[in-house]
Structure 1
Amino acid sequence: MNITEYQQIATVQYCFPDNNSSCRKEVQTGTGNIFLFTLLSCISVCTVCLNLLVIISISHFKQLHSPTNLLVLSLAVADLLVGLIVMPVKIMELIDNCWYFGEIACTIVLVINSLSLSTSLCSMVFIAVDRYIAVNDPLIYSTKITVCKTSLIIILGWSFSLLYVIIYLHFNDSLLQSQIGSRCLGECILFVIHLWVIIDLVVFFIAPCCTILVLYSFIFNVARFQAKAVRAVLNSTSSKHGDNVSNSSEIKAAKTLGIVVCVYLACWIPFYLSSLSSDNISTLSLVWTMLGWLAYMNSSVNPLIYAIFYPWFKASTKYIVTCKIFESSSSRYNLFREHF
Structure 2
Amino acid sequence: MAIATQVSLEQANRLNWWTGVCQRLWPLSTSGDGNCLHAASLAMWGFHDRLLTLRKALHAFLSSSPRREALWRRWRRQQSLLNAQAGLVYTEVEWRQEWNAIVNMASTEPRLRRLSVASDHSGDVSGGDIYESLEEIHVLALAHVLRRPIIVVADTVLKDMNGEALAPIPFGGIYLPLECSASECHHSPLLLAYDGGHFSALVAMETQAPVSLASAIPLTDSNRELLPIQFSIDPEDREDFGGKMELSYSESIALLKENLDVVRIEEQEGESRNGILGSIGKSVGQKLRLKLSRSNSQRQNNKGGLLCAVLHSEKRHEYLDKMFNNYLHTARIRFQQEQENVIFKTKF
TM norm. shorter chain > 0.5? no
Tell me which protein shows more strand as a share of its residues. Answer: 2
TM-score range, shorter chain: under 0.3
TM-score by length of structure 2 reads 0.24
Tell me which protein shows more helix as a share of its residues. Answer: 1
